[in-house]
């Protein structure tokens, strides 16, 4: 299994329509899709890990979800310390 960072979704990026279109339950809290878009791995609100086989062509749905992501707040961006300068 190979992963693509674009296919990792946090709670704020997981819409009801994304869950519905991928055939996932409503209590998905964190979502990771494999690079081939064959499987979804997710954690639910009870922090239980699940695997789900994706059926059909889900690429258009996933690409739309990636485009519609909510940009992280500046405070959530990684801290970078540059020495020297």
Q: Give per-residue pLDDT as tens, 9-35.
A: 999 999 999 999 999 999 999 999 999
pLDDT at 82 over 80: no
- Residue-wise pLDDT tens digits, 28-81: 999 999 999 999 999 999 999 999 999 989 999 999 999 998 776 666 666 665
Cα–chain center distance at 82: 30
What is the DSSP secondary structure assignment for residue 52, as one 8-state letter?
Answer: E
Tokens encoding 13: 């990026």
Asked if 24 contacts 52 with a C-beta cutoff of 8 angstroms, the reply is yes
Domain boundaries, the chain: 3-76
The pLDDT of residue 5? 81
CB count in 10 Å sphere of residue 35: 11
R_g over Cα of the chain: 15
């Amino acid at each position: 299994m190979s992963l693509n960072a674009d296919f990792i979704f946090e709670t704020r990026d997981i819409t009801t329509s994304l869950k519905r279109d991928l055939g996932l339950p409503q209590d998905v809290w964190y979502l990771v899709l494999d690079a081939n878009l064959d499987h979804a791995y997710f954690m639910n609100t009870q922090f239980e890990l699940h695997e789900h086989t994706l059926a059909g062509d889900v690429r258009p749905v996933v690409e739309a979800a990636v485009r519609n992501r909510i940009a992280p707040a500046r405070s959530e961006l990684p801290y970078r310390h540059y020495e020297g300068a």
